[in-house]
Amino acid sequence: MEGPFTIFIVEDDPWYGQLLHYHLSLNPDDNVYLWTSGQECLDNMHLRPDVVTIDFSLPDISGDRLMQTLRQRYPELPFIIISAQNKIATAVHLLKMGAADYLVKDDNTKDLLWNAIQKLRETSSLRERVKSLESQLQAKYDFSKIMKGNSPAIRRIFGLMEKAAQTPVNVSITGETGTGKELVAKAIHMNSGRHKKPFVAVNMAAIPTELLESELFGHEKGAFTSAVARKIGKFEEANGGTLFLDEIGDLHPAIQSKLLRVLQERELQRVGGNERIKLDVRLITATHKNLAEEVRNKTFREDLYYRIMGLPLLLPPLRERDQDVLYLAKYFVDEFCQEYGKPPMTLAAEALNKLRAYAYPGNVRELKTVVELAAVLSNGTEIEPSDILFAPAGHDSHFLGTEKTLREYTRAIVRHYLDKYEDNVPQVAQTLDVGKSTIYKMIQDGEV
């Protein structure tokens, strides 16, 4: 635990009180105070003790009465009762009242007390750490930190996210690939009243249709040939919290009807089971498709569409956030340099103009990749226009359709042009506006 640990000893026997005070004061990091009456202890609570040891038999108030009074005022404060009585009934009564420990006065008491306080110190340290982590987690999902920018379009989204976090209604998020739909969903959850409960994300398009019902609703052992054990589905995992169904526009019609029934009845049955399981789940969905159009085309159920719609959030593409491109580019450069221990880098004016002129079909995700690649290719502390490479023409959707490392993106770009120009390195270097040595080195290292 950071900082001193403050200990109150409430003991009316001067000799015994001094013995305990001396023993506990052997730790120089602790502040130990000795009080000879219950009232003296109450009068000094402004010193904010971390633990109070109480003699069961005090001259002005009984130990259990003092503990009860303090617990009402300071419910999280731990107490240790020290008594000459060794009656089990008394010990059980005080422990039920909330005492952290009950020690009988004998030759070993001072050592037992020392050990008990060390355990409380560890518990207190853990509690503080949990509070700190919770605070950090809340700060991490601050809306303005997960979605950088100050354009009118983004400010409108922040306002809607705030409303979504304050209400229990379902939320439907639409937007192009790379606009940050899952980040928005998680931020809404972490700022809602459900933030201490699970956030479970499912990419509907990534799960085969024949497995999707089991994945969402779970199954019982023996429900089908490969069901060798009970499986808890995503809805049950998210019970009490938030379930995020990404790419819901790709949901098979057969599963759409089953999902609708679960949402209407707020309960489910596992595949192959009879038990009805009550649900308390906040649903957030996302898709890059126009669901209203899918309804008109009869590929998405109209009743399910209205059930999941709730509060709609349309995330703007980066091309509609013109003034945010430069802000984001500078942010990604700083983040990259800090993460990889590189000296601070800047973007030349011409490089900023080049970034601003591009349409970014892959949105923020693509901008981040382009900027990080430029930081790698740069030979100095300033990123030049020649360091900025965009996805090969005609390969935008494929290029950014899967998650890759920065090195893999770099290889893909260079390999594309080497194939296009039949390994003519000077031509590739001229097209990509990089030095020939950069291409030759990648070939020599076996990276392309």
**pLDDT tens digit string along 73-83?**
888 889 999 98
**H runs (alpha helix) in 82-180:** 88-97, 109-140, 143-146, 152-166
CB 328 within 8 A of CB 366: no
Q: What is the pLDDT of residue 44?
A: 93
How far is it, in rounded angstroms, from Cα 39 to Cα 177? 66
Q: Are residues 373 and 412 in the same domain?
A: yes
Q: Are residues 296 and 411 in the same domain?
A: no
Q: Are residues 206 and 284 in the same domain?
A: yes
How far is it, in rounded angstroms, from Cα 8 to Cα 66? 13
Burial, 313: exposed, middle or buried (Cβ in 10 Å; 0-12, 13-18, 19+)? Answer: buried
Q: Are residues 163 and 297 in the same domain?
A: yes
pLDDT confidence tier of residue 400, bands split at 50, 70 and 90: low
CB 316 within 8 A of CB 180: no
pLDDT confidence tier of residue 133, bands split at 50, 70 and 90: low
Q: Are residues 174 and 118 in the same domain?
A: no
HSE-CB of 200 using CA atoms within 13 angstroms: 20
Q: What is the pLDDT of residue 45?
A: 92
Q: What is the pLDDT of residue 282?
A: 95
Q: What is the pLDDT of residue 397?
A: 45
**H runs (alpha helix) in 275-402:** 291-296, 302-309, 322-339, 349-357, 363-377, 396-399
Which of 290, 314, 338 is at the close of a domain? 314
pLDDT confidence tier of residue 311, bands split at 50, 70 and 90: very high
Q: Are residues 171 and 295 in the same domain?
A: yes
Least confident window among 102-111, 118-127, 329-338, 342-351: 118-127
Domain membership of residue 171 as a residue range = 143-314
Q: What CATH number is given to the structural domain containing 262? A: 3.40.50.300
pLDDT confidence tier of residue 266, bands split at 50, 70 and 90: very high
How far is it, in rounded angstroms, from Cα 407 to Cα 414? 11
Contacts of 337 (CB under 8 A, 6+ apart): 343, 344, 345, 375
Q: Are residues 198 and 310 in the same domain?
A: yes
Q: Are residues 299 and 422 in the same domain?
A: no
Which of 314, 347, 363 is at the close of a domain? 314
pTM for the whole structure: 0.57
What percent of the chain has pLDDT above 90?
39
Q: Are residues 183 and 224 in the same domain?
A: yes
Least confident window among 254-263, 319-328, 339-348, 389-398: 389-398
Which of 137, 152, 174 is at the close of a domain? 137
Least confident window among 46-50, 146-150, 255-259, 363-367: 146-150
Q: What CATH number is given to the structural domain containing 355? A: 1.10.8.60
Strands 267-268 and 277-278: antiparallel
Q: Are residues 325 and 306 in the same domain?
A: no
Q: What is the pLDDT of residue 398?
A: 46
CB 308 within 8 A of CB 271: no
Q: What is the pLDDT of residue 3?
A: 56
**H runs (alpha helix) in 232-298:** 234-237, 253-265, 291-296
Q: Are residues 206 and 296 in the same domain?
A: yes
**DSSP secondary-structure letter at 147?**
S
Q: Are residues 332 and 419 in the same domain?
A: yes
In the chain, the number of structural domains is 3
